[in-house]
Structure 1
Amino acid sequence: MTPVGVIVVDKPSGITSHDVVARTRKALQTRKVGHGGTLDPMATGVLLVGVDRATRLLGFLAKQDKVYQATVRLGSSTLTDDSQGQTLASATADQLAAIDEVAIMRVVAKLTGDIEQVPSAISA
C-alpha cells in the first residue's frame, strides 16, 4: 500500500528540490511524489513533499504565508545575487563602518510584507 501525506523535509545545502523528490520516490517506492516549491541547491530549509493524493494539497500550501530567514554579507554584490556568484563589487571598511542599525532596518522594512520577487540577471 502506497503511503499518502505531506512530508516536511529539512533540505540540506548541496542538493536540489528534485533530488529530494527522487530520493522520496525511491524510499517509498512510488512515482507520485512532488514538492511544494523549489529551493535553490545552496539553500537550506523546509521543503514540503506530497505523496500520492496529497500532491493535490501542494498548490494550496504553496500559496500560504511564508517566513524567510537569511544570513547576509553586507557590502558585497555578486553577478548572481547570491553567495555563489562572482563578486562584482565590495564595500570598503569605512563604508561598512558607516552602516548602522537604522539603515539596516530601513532596508529590511522594504523586504517585509507582500513583495514581488525579481529574478537576478542570471538565474536557474
Structure 2
Amino acid sequence: MDKTNLPQGWKYEVFDKIENPIAKYYSALSDYGNMIKFSDITHPKTSNIFAEFDDYVNIKKEDLKEITFEQILLYLKNVVPKEGQSKKDFLIKFLDQRQIQYDEGLWDEAI
C-alpha cells in the first residue's frame, strides 16, 4: 500500500522490516476509517506459487473502546517478542485482555 496516495481519513504505517535470502517481511498497521488492520506481510523471493502472505488481525473501530490507531501503533512499535512469539500474538493478548472483538486469519495471493 502506498502511504502517500491513501483516501482521506485512512492511515498506513509500516513499523518492522526484515529481509533475508528467502523473503521480505514487514509489519504494518492500517486505518480504513471504520476498521484497523494489523498485517504481518511476507513476500517470498523464490516462490512459484505465492506472491504474498498476510497474517492479519481486523478490528472494527466501534469495538475499540476509545483505543486509537496511534495507541495501538505505539504499543506494536515498542513490544519486544521473545523467540517463538510475534507482535500479532501480543496484539491478540492485548485485545483479549480488554475484551475487544477481532477477526484474524491468513490471506495469500497466488502468482
Is TM more than 0.5 here?
A: no
Name the structure where helix makes up a greater proportion of residues: 1
Bigger Rg, structure 1 or 2: 1
Name the structure where strand makes up a greater proportion of residues: 2
